[in-house]
A and B are shown apart, each in its own frame.
Chain A
Amino acid sequence: EAGVAQSPRYKIIEKRQSVAFWCNPISGHATLYWYQQILGQGPKLLIQFQNNGVVDDSQLPKDRFSAERLKGVDSTLKIQPAKLEDSAVYLCASSLFGGYNEQFFGPGTRLTVL
């Protein structure tokens, strides 16, 4: 069974530039999560999708971050414009359903904003 795929693995940009991350969840998983993990901290949920609908985006900085999950499969997370404090690892996870079902994580994208 293929795991959660993410790309790119690394990205370096300058502040005020834009960047996009892509995630392909495990086939059949209805729930998809985007997390931000700053160095030395645990993951923080940015947004949760159930199929192609948003379940929770309360911690997504909507003035600069956006995410979509068209057709309920792949998802993209965009930052526009980036700030220095956006430097972090962006993790994508999926689960069969939400709730307390096990979440399966991708390898993450390490973003450095200069």
Chain B
Amino acid sequence: AQSVTQLDSQVPVFEEAPVELRCNYSSSVSVYLFWYVQYPNQGLQLLLKYLSGSTLVESINGFEAEFNKSQTSFHLRKPSVHISDTAEYFCAVSEDSNYQLIWGAGTKLIIKP
């Protein structure tokens, strides 16, 4: 992947509201797609990934992301956010020919009570 774009540096939402964090990438070959999350004062950890198969992937804590090849996107969604979802979310992409991860700049999810 040549680049990964996360257009929103911060997304404020009210608790229990839905949220979408956007991720677009540029690549002309097959890709693998990842969302990592960094909770306050913790290291990055994998949230979910798309390698092949179903284009809709889910995490254990209610997030989902859909791979859209035509739009080169991998947006992250949650129908109802909780205060514990406060974190920075990073989208990352690697190409089939080169597994190096290319990272977006991150989106801070801010939950308003």
A residues with CB within 8 A of B: 3-4, 40-45, 48, 56, 91, 93, 98-100, 102-108
Contact B44 A102 (CB under 8 A): no
Contact B103 A56 (CB under 8 A): no
Given contacts A4-B43, A91-B44, A105-B43, A42 and B99 within 8 Å (CB-CB): no
B residues with CB within 8 A of A: 4, 9, 32, 36, 41-46, 49, 51, 90, 92, 94, 99-101, 103-106
Contact B100 A48 (CB under 8 A): yes
Q: Kindly list chain B residues whose C-beta atoms are within 8 Å of the C-beta of A103.
A: 44, 46, 101
Residue of B nearest to A106 (CB): B43
Q: Kindly list chain B residues whose C-beta atoms are within 8 Å of the C-beta of A44.
A: 103
Contact A102 B103 (CB under 8 A): no
User: Chain B binding site: helix, strand, loop or mixed by DSSP?
Assistant: strand
CB contact between B101 and one of A40, A41, A45 (< 8 Å): that residue: A45
A48 to B98: give the CA distance in the assembly, Å.
13
Contact A107 B43 (CB under 8 A): yes
Contact A42 B103 (CB under 8 A): yes
Q: Kindly list chain B residues whose C-beta atoms are within 8 Å of the C-beta of A93.
A: 44
* 13 extra interface residue pairs, beta carbon distance < 8 Å, beyond A105-B45, A106-B43: A4-B43, A40-B105, A42-B90, A42-B103, A44-B103, A45-B100, A91-B44, A100-B32, A100-B99, A102-B49, A105-B44, A107-B42, A107-B43
Q: List 11 A-B contacts (CB under 8 A).
A: A41-B106, A42-B4, A42-B90, A42-B103, A42-B106, A44-B103, A93-B44, A100-B99, A105-B36, A105-B45, A107-B41
Residue of A nearest to B90 (CB): A42
Question: How near does chain A come to B101, taking the closest CB pair, in angstroms?
Answer: 7
Give the residue among A42, A56, A106 with the most B Cβ atoms within 10 A. A42
A56 to B4: give the CA distance in the assembly, Å.
20
A48 to B101: give the CA distance in the assembly, Å.
11
Residue of B nearest to A35 (CB): B103
Q: Kindly list chain A residues whose C-beta atoms are within 8 Å of the C-beta of B106.
A: 41-42
